[in-house]
Structure 1
């Protein structure tokens, strides 16, 4: 069977009704298996991962394989209440495909369907990945040796939809496409006391406020203005009542950089600021980092040149070279281990990614499938690359 455009849209809409959060994509996985089992099975092999039970790996055996080419798509949704009044709106309360992973999965199914009918030259490995939005599903899969043996991947490709590009546009760039991200949690430990006797206490709010102000100088005064880095504290908790000096404060934030070197530099500067404030205020400041699998998405130069050359020279593809974004993606971890390329697929939504009114244009689905099928056939016939 070959999926028609109407069937692809029907698949996408069903996926949209059953969004699930990271590591809980059981209904999604069951539906994906149901669809894949309708494809010709002659050259397909499906593998599940005990360490990542909602994941799916699908091998398409090639006719004359010289490499294993991987294609990854993510499966999870976000804790967002959908406001779109659609016949296929989310049926799961407080969960929505607000990042378009339903589009990602549908495009992947379309590509897989094509190659199940038209046997590829090389082996293809499709990775339906849980837990992109949180929990680093790509890292869990790689670290548990998912891509070994028959399912070894020599190079990886994957897309992310883009609400600001017209439907079907393919966007890419060599170098970094997405920033890497690191969660940062800071606990300031001072000494509580009566508001009337501040000299007998050590005000954690004052210390934390100084910490936030000094950290904001890292980007403005410690980083080359032509380079990119971000540090934001979006959560500040301290105190119990207005007339008690807080003995403890907690900050939660994020660090982002277009290179891992930049992220590590910012992390080090934050530790140095904490160390200085400990000395000047006589307090204790604990800094915890958690990067998980959210490394910068750094596209491989050679493979990405091949990708861009094909897209630019294909009259059926509307290609745009894009600028890097400070959003994060755990595909960066896989690209840190396996060379590959991530690209944008324009979906022209009135609502932004991660918003309750995100509404992608379904006309992008078939265009994304066609562009990637064409590229993969082109890639498999590039000898010695």
Structure 2
């Protein structure tokens, strides 16, 4: 049987983006089918996997979710087990997440707990989002495996190994992608009056979008509107007839998200009139806030405080997005950060989490699950 370190390194070498995790799914299934199958029920969903472990005398089902996808990032580490897929990397720790889940599955299968467990290896967390469709599929096709409580963790580069951090209530924000296309009239740079310049229109709109948070949102509320990419034009002597703004919206309240989108649409309509152009808005994929069940989270923090090898922190909420929020929307549970002590942050091409987190986290989480 492979060590958990070897599993993590194998998975790190085969990152795949959302709903294309074919090698990853095959690897997970190979490890799962290597286990004693007496108590297991294994079901595939798209490129994900569900594993149900029958408890000794179950009265409820406990869920553990791990995301499995990578990112379109060209890895820049010097580790010997770096990504073998050019242009793709596990730069958000999902290789660690999967390994911990497999470690837990091994131990729970070898020594079952009283209640049943369901392990959800979920694709497409980074986009377009796998949690919501997986939840709905589970409700429709396998309601008998729906968890009564569900848990997950995310690596945290800023914390040392042995530190867990979370908070009751709101932990992560509501998020939405943002794509705005502006269409005008292209033409020769010498005849601007015969064109509708979308470079100028996009520049104007970009500045106006910055007024939403500063002038349309209550200062006591939290929101982010970031345009991370703007493209327009082809060559230096042609006035652009098309521009595209790409960004993200993040809020700590669902109603604020609605308000922000209303303001974006109003500003786009104003731009349409001012620059005699047409606009199209696409909000892409959006994630529901991660709202930890207060009582469950408080009990988890108390459990962590009593563990001799753990430092527990009640952290602040963050503007991070995580589609695990869709599970918590309907199922009690919680998500927590686990330190991996890396100088490079999430989504960084040089991220290299400390693997010692695996040997720490598997027995810690197992003990917690057995206490429920």
Shared fold (TM-score greater than 0.5)? yes
Which SS does the other structure have where 1:46 is aligned?
strand
Aligned to 2:55: 62
Give the distance between the partners of 1:130 and 1:8, measured in 2 at CA: 21
Which of 101, 105, 108 is residue 112 of structure 1 equivalent to? 105
Aligned to 1:43: 39
Give CA-to-partner distance per residue, 1:161-192, whole Å, 9 cap, x none: 01110012111111222222211111222333
For residues 127-138 of structure 1, what are the structure 2 equivalents within 5 Å?
127-138=120-131
Give the distance between the partners of 1:162 and 1:356, measured in 2 at CA: 15
C-alpha displacement of 1:363: 1.1
For residues 192-207 of structure 1, what are the structure 2 equivalents within 5 Å?
192-207=186-201
Change (3 A) 1:25 1:285: closer
Q: Tell me if structure 2 keeps the 8 A contact 1:82–1:96.
A: yes
Deviates more, 1:204-213 or 1:98-107: 204-213
C-alpha displacement of 1:61: 0.8
Give the distance between the partners of 1:316 and 1:110, measured in 2 at CA: 18
Where has structure 1 moved over 6 Å in runs of 4 or more? Answer: none
Residue 242 in structure 1 maps to residue 224 in structure 2: no
Which of 227, 232, 251 is residue 245 of structure 2 equivalent to? 251
Residue 307 in structure 1 maps to residue 300 in structure 2: yes
Q: Tell me if structure 2 keeps the 8 A contact 1:44–1:60.
A: yes
C-alpha displacement of 1:97: 1.4
Residue 185 in structure 1 maps to residue 179 in structure 2: yes
C-alpha displacement of 1:277: 2.5
Give CA-to-partner distance per residue, 1:121-176, whole Å, 9 cap, x none: 11111001111112211122123236733311222110100111001211111122
C-alpha displacement of 1:214: 0.9
Aligned to 2:65: 72
Give the distance between the partners of 1:113 and 1:10, measured in 2 at CA: 15
Unaligned runs of 5+ in 2: none
Give the distance between the partners of 1:103 and 1:376, measured in 2 at CA: 19
Aligned to 2:14: 18
For residues 93-172 of structure 1, what are the structure 2 equivalents within 5 Å?
93-145=86-138, 148-172=142-166
Change (3 A) 1:145 1:200: same
Give the distance between the partners of 2:277 and 2:102, measured in 1 at CA: 55
Give the count of matched residue pairs.
Answer: 371
Change (3 A) 1:349 1:66: same
Residue 28 in structure 1 maps to residue 24 in structure 2: yes
Give the distance between the partners of 2:272 and 2:81, measured in 1 at CA: 54
Q: Tell me if structure 2 keeps the 8 A contact 1:168–1:363.
A: no
Q: TM-score w.r.t. structure 2 length?
A: 0.93
Change (3 A) 1:32 1:247: closer
Give the distance between the partners of 2:233 and 2:264, measured in 1 at CA: 23
Change (3 A) 1:240 1:82: closer
Q: Tell me if structure 2 keeps the 8 A contact 1:176–1:259.
A: no
Q: Tell me if structure 1 keeps the 8 A contact 2:210–2:225.
A: yes
C-alpha displacement of 1:307: 1.8
Give the distance between the partners of 2:233 and 2:326, measured in 1 at CA: 38
Give CA-to-partner distance per residue, 1:84-129, whole Å, 9 cap, x none: 2223222222222111111101111111111111111111110011
Unaligned runs of 5+ in 1: 380-385
